[in-house]
Amino acid sequence: MKAFVVDRYGRKSGIRAADMPVPEPREDDVLIQIHAAGVNPLDAKIRDGEFKLILPYRLPLILGNDVAGVVVRVGSRVQQFKPGDEVYARPHKDRIGTFAEFIALREDAVALKPKTLTMEEAASIPLVGLTAWQALIEKGQLKKGQKVLIHAGSGGVGTFAIQLAKHVGATVATTASAGNAEWLKQLGADIVIDYRKDDFAAVLKDFDVVLDTQGGKTLERSLQVLKPGGRLIGIAGPPDPDFAKEIGAAWFLKTAMRFLSYRVRKAAKRHDVTYSFLFMRADGSQLAQIAALIDAGVIKPVIDRVFPFASTQEALAYVETGRVKGKAVVKIR
């Protein structure tokens, strides 16, 4: 099968088209013929080797973390799916590889594709949908009447999270460029702060939850907008000790993560709020709930551009500009 692979870590090495063997499904796997794959900043970070300590992949590695396609074979223990089912998924972190014609995934990572979406639209959802769900619903425990700040509202996670938070019944603030303000209000944002001109930490206060996609100074300043007992959830890092425990990290990694997140955790304690790092996990049952919301018209996918499979490298470069509105997708079939 045709695929796009990383031979060695580093931006300069890039990715290349290659012929790879079609994966052999295990007994609890489904083999999916891929129709479309979402492209994410995570793909570039994996290519550059940013996660090689916590995700020790074997090279050459097929990149790609979002998939929509059709089941062609199922393992002997699979019960939920059959050949011909249209599905979508975010692979488990150790089984990525959606920039390819086929992928074998564990059944528990997969869900039936939203009926109202095309394959390209469905492929744009899993990674950002699960990230928003696990940040706001699971970790943030966001409820009706609460206030949430979602950074970088026009990105893939942001556009999904705004719609999800609005559905929950929260007041939604977001940061974005002034040119995207009206559009983000149509998606459900109540307050849009122009990050080029205004300081969000000076404008907002008494928020219950912040979803930070930026890290660094933005993460630290986000502590100031939370009320006592508020929750700051970061997806750009730094990783914290709870995450180290979650992935069963070796002692030296646990120590490193404790050290890396010490400053923000200490500052959070001072503000009487909590900080937690989220590295989204695959979850087919959550994707099924997301599909129901999409089919009910509650959440709409936001796609900036669809690239042909041959232009996967170009799609990744486009995502790296940081100017994508919603998602970029590769059409494979």
Closest listed residue to residue 125, CA positions, set 15, 255, 284: 284
Does the 128-277 domain belong in CATH 3.40.50.2300? no
**How many residues does this entry show for the chain?**
333
Q: What is the mean pLDDT of residues 157-170?
A: 98
Domain with CATH 3.40.50.720 in the chain: 128-277
| Average pLDDT score over the chain | 97
Burial tier of 18 (Cβ tally within 10 Å: 0-12, 13-18, 19+): middle
Q: Give the number of other Cβ atoms within 10 Å of residue 300's Cβ.
A: 15
pLDDT digits (tens, 9 = 90+) for 67-78: 999 999 999 999
> Can you give the pLDDT at residue 267?
97
Instruction: Give residue 191's identity as a one-letter amino acid code.
Output: I
**Residue recorded with tokens 């702060």:** 193
What are the structure tokens assigned to 135, written together? 């940040």
Q: Give the number of other Cβ atoms within 10 Å of residue 99's Cβ.
A: 30
> Can you give the pLDDT at residue 52?
87
Answer yes or no: is pLDDT of 160 > 90.
Answer: yes
Burial tier of 252 (Cβ tally within 10 Å: 0-12, 13-18, 19+): exposed
Residue 277, φ and ψ in degrees, nearest 5: -95, 140
Closest listed residue to residue 47, CA positions, set 98, 95, 8: 8
> Can you give the pLDDT at residue 53?
84
Least trusted range by pLDDT, from 51-60, 224-233, 271-280, 288-297: 51-60
| Choices 3.40.50.2000, 3.40.47.10, 3.40.50.300, 3.90.180.10: CATH for 2-125+301-331 | 3.90.180.10
Domain with CATH 3.90.180.10 in the chain: 2-125+301-331
Answer yes or no: is pLDDT of 11 > 90.
Answer: no
> Can you give the pLDDT at residue 54?
84
Answer yes or no: is pLDDT of 299 > 90.
Answer: yes
Buried b (16+ CB within 10 A) or exposed e, 75-92: beebebbeeebbbbbbbe
Answer yes or no: is pLDDT of 294 > 90.
Answer: yes
pLDDT digits (tens, 9 = 90+) for 102-132: 999 999 999 999 999 999 999 999 999 999 9
| Euclidean distance between CA atoms 79 and 157, whole angstroms | 31
Residue 4, φ and ψ in degrees, nearest 5: -115, 125
Answer yes or no: is pLDDT of 13 > 90.
Answer: no
| Euclidean distance between CA atoms 66 and 90, whole angstroms | 5
Q: What is the mean pLDDT of residues 321-333?
A: 96
> Can you give the pLDDT at residue 324?
96
| Euclidean distance between CA atoms 75 and 31, whole angstroms | 8
> Can you give the pLDDT at residue 237?
85
> Can you give the pLDDT at residue 55?
85
Q: How confident is the model at residue 310 (pLDDT cuts 50, 70, 90)?
A: very high
pLDDT digits (tens, 9 = 90+) for 17-64: 999 999 999 999 999 999 999 999 999 999 999 988 888 899 999 999
pTM above 0.95, yes or no: yes
pLDDT digits (tens, 9 = 90+) for 225-263: 999 999 999 999 899 999 999 989 999 999 999 999 999
